[in-house]
Amino acid sequence: MSRKFFVGGNWKLNGDKKSLGELINTLNSAKLDPNTEVVCGAPSIYLDFARSKLDPKIGVAAQNCYKVEKGAFTGEISPAMIKDCGVQWVILGHSERRWVFGETDELIGQKCAHALESGLGVIACIGEKLDEREAGITEKVVNAQTKHFADNIKDWSKVVLAYEPVWAIGTGKTASPAQAQEVHDKLRQWVKANVSESVGNSVRIIYGGSVTGGTCKELAGMADVDGFLVGGASLKPEFIEIINAKQ
């Protein structure tokens, strides 16, 4: 089964209207692989700006959302608000949400359920920390995180799984193509065994963790790497090289 290559750019807490406007102009004028789905994760205050300026063929994602539509939840945004800005995706469970802001598997699962019920696509992030990899429990950790998502997903067609080893995010360390492929393959086997064979074959599993123009082509050649979630490099012109990694 052919899975459409997916490249997400996570801008994190970066940019202003000037710099993001320049980045958007660069993306809009670039020759992007038409067979790759591209989504940019903008800070919530710039979602409207990004959606109105980016070429319609490039998607936009919020970097987080809450588990209800509205209410007394100061500082939060809901899927309904995200959709009202014309935005169709949200990133959930990113390691920075887990480890910097203390979000639990349970909360992330609840957010995922509500986002999907509201009609958003979800980029569902999972990944182990360095001590967990060194202890040999990568598979156990990643499977447990995936289960919390899976328990809250009815329709997998709007879900992209993003494997991001925490030790490789922003550190300059990248999992080797073989390391990435090994985890992606085991993840796919887990989905086949615990969700269904067809979902296991069709779900896109993307890799994140210091992906650059220099590392993307070899990673993209792995059988079970269906794209990337890109951090720092998504703010630079080399993001275009990463989008075109399959060409």
HSE of 131 in the Cβ direction (CA atoms, 13 Å)? 0
197 is catalytic: no
Kindly name the residue from 94, 114, 148, 184 that is annotated as catalytic.
94
Q: What does the mean pLDDT of the chain come to?
A: 97
Q: Model confidence over 163-211: pLDDT tens digits? A: 999 988 888 887 899 999 999 999 999 999 999 999 999 999 999 988 9
The total of other beta-carbon atoms located within 10 Å of residue 26's CB is 13
Kindly name the residue from 114, 148, 164, 184 that is annotated as catalytic.
164
184 is catalytic: no
Q: Model confidence over 100-135: pLDDT tens digits? A: 999 999 999 999 999 999 999 999 999 999 999 999
